[in-house]
Amino acid sequence: MAGFHIVVCGGMVPDPLQSLEPVVGPDGPALKNEAMLPMVLDPWAAHSLYEAAHLAAHAPGSKVWLVSLGPKARLQQLMMSIAQKVSFELVALDGAAGGFSDAYEIARALAEAIEGIPDLDRTRLLLFGGCASAARDAGVTMSMVAERLGLTEQFLGVDMLETDGDRLRIKERVEGGRYRISECDAPPAMLAWATGTLPIPPNNPQLGMQNMRSIMPALARAKSIPLGSGDVAFGAVERPVQRRETRVVKDMPPEDIAREIVAWMREG
């Protein structure tokens, strides 16, 4: 077994704790104060990165690349925490990351970047990413990247991957709160991850220093990707309506709390 060549596609999104306010800027829709918002690695993509690193650690000869599209300066900030978690080589693309870019354009840029990775063995390729992004939630980007790369084995909403040599056993979410388990003889394949099963790895500064040796040059040579909303017109953007109905209750069983919340949501 020669291991896997795992390419993870992972973008950045605003920290979910931030209040996001859509505005219309000179280049189309954007987020208010987007340039100053703290960013995190897209949560679903982050899970796929941790799964990739775990798989690589247990499959000798494997290697992990992280292909990430976002404003270069913000990517650099993001790498200060991501680089400490797992070992990978960065392929950076310099472009917008506000959540208003079209999935097709992003997929094209990612696929081209992956095609340009030297030493990537496409026969050993496992393409990883999030099943959707926290910014746009389009849920189609990974499939588009896979199609462009000619990967026909595609799995969406993956929560678990087991390997036996080259053989892949994949557990993916399907409708109705159920799982489907598939088997795939060998790579290449695309796995768009849901949450996976692994915890967030602790930070390891030594690993971070090691990763930074390749990350900084990668950021320096990041290709600029012009992304716009293209022909897509956004009629309106608005924040979800918030409702707040506070009630102080003591000693209520969790089942009753859950029942009440569900009833409240159905009312809404």
Partner 1 sequence: MSTVETERTPAYLTTLPGDDVRQIMWRFADRYDLQMLVQSSRTVARGPVARVVAEGGRNTHEWSAAKQSLLQAYDDAGLTTLSVEPEYGGFITGPKNMAMALAAFELAWVDGGAATSSLATHLALAPIHEKGTAEQCSKYMGGCVPPRPGENRPHLRGAFALTEPIPFAGVQTRSLAGKVRVEAWNEGEEPLLRVEKRGRFITNMDFANFVTAAVDSDDERIKGSCMVILEEGDPGTFDRGAATRKLVHQLSSTRDPIFNMVVPASRIIGGYTIQDGVIVPNVDHNEVIRAVFRRTRVTVGLMTAAKLVSAIEPVIRYHRNRFRGGPSETPGSPRYELGLQQKEDVLHRLIEVWATGEASASLGFATARFFDDFDPLDHRREEIFETHEIPEGRAGLRALNQVIPQAVEFVELSGRPAAVRDGARYEELAGDELIEFLVGDALANVLCPACKLWNTGHGATMMREAVSLMGGYGITEDCPGFLGQKWMDAQLEATYEGPEAVQRRQLSLTMTNEIFLAQFGQWILELRRIAGRRPGTGACTLASAMELWLWTIRRLQKAKDADGKALYGDKRQGVTFPLADALCWLLASRFQILDVLELEEKTAGSEGEEATEAMQGLVHFFSDLAHTQAARAAGEVDRICTDLLYGYNRHPHWDSEYAFPRGDLESLETVMPGIAACSERDAIDEDGSHAPKAGPCVRFAGMETFQALRAKLGGCGTGSGLAKDRAAHALANVMIPEAQDYPA
Residue ranges binding partner 1 (CB under 8 A): 15, 17-19, 21, 25, 32-38, 71-73, 77, 80-81, 83-84, 202-206, 208-209, 212, 216, 244, 246
Q: Which of 80, 78, 104, 88 has the alpha carbon at shortest distance from 11?
A: 78
Q: How far is the CB of 84 from partner 1 (least distance, A)?
A: 5
Q: How far is the CB of 173 from partner 1 (least distance, A)?
A: 27
Q: Which of 162, 203, 199, 169 has the alpha carbon at shortest distance from 184?
A: 169
Q: How far is the CB of 86 from partner 1 (least distance, A)?
A: 14
Q: Which is nearer to partner 1, 15 or 260 (CB)?
A: 15
Distance from chain centroid for Cα 255: 33
198 phi, psi to nearest 5 deg: -95, 145
30 phi, psi to nearest 5 deg: -155, 180
Spatial contact of 78 and 119, defined as CB atoms under 8 Å apart: no
Q: Which is nearer to partner 1, 31 or 184 (CB)?
A: 31
Q: Residue 45 half-sphere exposure, CB side, CA atoms within 13 Å?
A: 25
| Angstrom distance (rounded) from CA 265 to CA 213 | 49
Q: How far is the CB of 240 from partner 1 (least distance, A)?
A: 12
Q: Which is nearer to partner 1, 181 or 209 (CB)?
A: 209
Q: Which is nearer to partner 1, 7 or 30 (CB)?
A: 30
Pairing of strands 125-130, 39-41: unpaired
- DSSP assignment letter at 224: E
Q: How far is the CB of 180 from partner 1 (least distance, A)?
A: 34
Q: How far is the CB of 99 from partner 1 (least distance, A)?
A: 15
Q: Which is nearer to partner 1, 152 or 206 (CB)?
A: 206
Vertex 4 angle, CA 56 and 134, to 5°? 70
Q: Which is nearer to partner 1, 31 or 142 (CB)?
A: 31
